[in-house]
C-alpha cells in the first residue's frame, strides 16, 4: 500500500473519532448541566471541555473578556472555523480523506460519510439555539457509530482496515486519557464535595461520556469510588473505550500488517507498553505513581507512538 493511502486512512478514522469524542463530551455535559441544576457555576461546568480538548488558548483569543459561557463553548467546539479540532472541521477533514480513498472504502461507507457530511454542513451554516444542540450531537454520535458499523461489516480485511483501526484506537486512547485526567484534577470544585451528589454526577458523567455507565454498574458494585472508575477506564480489557482495550487493538492491528511491520519502532513501543501494563496495578498507579503522572506518561507514549507510525508507514 502507498504510504499516502495509509496516511489518508489513518487520518480519516482519527478525525472521525475526534469529532465523535467531542460530541460525546458536549452532549453529556448538557445533560449534566440539567442534572446538577445550579450546584456549579456555568464556567466550572464548561471550562473542563476546553481543557480536555486543549482549546483554552484558542477560546481565550476569541473571548478576551475571559467569560466562559455554555453557548460560546459549544459554538467554539462544534462549528468555530478557526478551531482545527471543532466537530465541523474534523468531519470536513474526515470526509475529504474518505473522498480520496473512495476505491478503498465500500460503497456503503462512502455514501454514509458523504450523506453525514452534507447534513452537518447544512445544519451548521447558521448558529443553533442552545436547545437544539443535544439533538444535533446525538445525530453526530449516531452517524459515527453507523460508519464504524458499516466499516466492520463491509470493509475488506487487510492493510486498509488495519490502518483504519490504528487511527481509531490511537485517537480513542488519547481522548479517554485526557477525559480521565481532567475529571480527576479539574472537575471537582472542592475536596469537601468528595462523595457528595455532585461528585456522583461528575463520575457518572465521565462514564456516560465514554458510554460506560451501564457497563461499569454491571462490573462494579461498590459505587463510584475514584479508584474503581479509574481501574475500569484504564485497565478493563472488555470495555471498548478503556485504554487497555485500545492498546490491545492497536497492537493487534500492527501485528496484522505482516512480518515486516514487526521490526518497526511503533510495534516495539506497543509491545513494551503492554509488557509494562502486565505488571502494573491500579493500586500502584494511585498510591505510588500518581494517576495524573501515570496518565501524562501514557500521553507521552501515545505521542511517541504517533511519531513512530509516521516514520514507519506514512513517510515516503
Q: Domain locations in the chain? A: 3-314
Strands (E), 35-143: none
Q: Determine the Cα angle at 76 with ends 193 and 181, to 5°.
A: 35
Cα–Cα dist 29/134, whole Å: 10
Q: What is the pLDDT of residue 36?
A: 55
What confidence score (pLDDT) does residue 194 get? 45
Query: Residue 28: CB partners within 8 Å, gap ≥ 6?
Result: 205, 208, 209
**CA–CA separation, 205 vs 138, rounded Å?**
16
The grid coordinates listed for 187 are: 472537575
Q: Return the closest-CA partner of residue 309 out of 10, 1, 15, 5.
A: 10
Is the distance from CB of 205 to CB of 136 less than 8 angstroms?
Answer: no
Model confidence pLDDT, tens digit, residues 182-218: 876 654 444 444 444 555 677 887 888 888 999 999 9
List per-residue pLDDT tens for the chain, 316 residues long: 688 999 999 999 999 999 999 999 898 888 766 655 555 677 777 888 888 888 888 999 998 888 888 899 999 999 999 999 999 999 999 999 999 999 899 999 999 999 999 999 999 988 888 889 999 999 999 999 999 999 999 999 999 999 999 999 999 999 999 888 887 665 444 444 444 455 567 788 788 888 899 999 999 887 778 888 899 999 999 999 999 999 999 999 998 987 667 788 999 999 899 999 999 999 999 888 888 899 999 999 999 999 999 999 987 6
CB 39 within 8 A of CB 117: no
Amino acid at each position: 500500500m502507498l504510504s499516502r493511502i495509509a496516511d489518508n486512512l489513518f487520518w480519516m478514522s482519527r478525525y472521525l473519532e475526534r469529532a465523535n469524542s467531542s460530541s460525546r463530551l458536549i452532549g453529556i455535559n448538557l445533560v449534566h448541566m440539567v442534572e446538577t441544576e445550579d450546584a456549579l457555576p456555568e464556567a466550572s461546568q464548561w471550562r473542563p471541555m476546553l481543557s480536555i480538548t486543549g482549546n483554552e488558548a484558542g477560546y481565550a483569543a476569541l473571548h478576551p473578556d475571559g467569560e466562559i459561557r455554555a453557548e460560546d463553548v459549544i459554538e467554539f467546539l462544534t462549528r468555530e472555523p478557526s478551531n482545527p479540532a471543532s466537530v465541523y472541521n474534523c468531519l470536513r477533514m474526515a470526509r475529504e480523506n474518505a473522498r480520496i480513498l473512495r476505491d478503498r472504502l465500500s460503497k456503503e461507507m462512502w455514501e454514509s460519510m458523504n450523506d453525514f457530511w452534507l447534513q452537518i454542513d447544512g445544519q451548521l451554516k447558521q448558529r443553533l439555539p442552545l436547545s437544539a444542540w443535544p439533538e444535533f450531537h446525538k445525530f453526530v454520535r449516531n452517524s459515527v457509530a453507523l460508519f464504524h458499523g458499516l466499516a466492520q461489516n463491509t470493509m475488506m480485511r487487510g492493510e486498509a482496515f488495519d490502518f483504519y483501526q490504528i487511527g481509531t484506537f490511537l485517537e480513542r486512547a488519547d481522548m479517554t486519557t485526557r477525559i480521565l485526567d481532567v475529571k480527576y484534577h479539574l472537575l471537582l470544585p472542592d475536596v469537601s464535595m468528595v462523595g457528595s451528589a455532585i461528585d456522583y454526577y461528575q463520575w457518572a458523567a465521565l462514564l456516560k461520556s465514554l458510554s460506560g455507565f451501564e457497563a461499569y454498574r454491571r462490573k462494579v458494585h461498590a459505587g463510584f469510588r475514584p479508584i474503581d472508575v479509574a481501574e475500569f477506564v484504564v485497565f478493563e480489557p472488555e470495555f471498548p473505550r478503556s485504554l487497555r482495550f485500545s492498546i490491545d487493538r492497536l497492537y493487534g492491528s500492527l501485528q496484522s500488517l505482516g512480518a515486516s511491520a514487526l521490526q518497526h519502532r511503533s510495534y516495539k513501543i506497543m509491545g513494551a507498553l503492554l509488557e509494562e501494563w502486565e505488571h502494573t496495578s491500579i493500586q500502584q498507579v494511585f498510591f505510588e505513581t500518581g494517576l495524573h503522572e501515570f496518565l501524562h506518561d501514557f500521553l507521552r507514549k501515545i505521542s511517541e507512538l504517533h511519531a513512530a507510525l509516521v516514520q514507519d508507514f506514512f513517510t515516503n
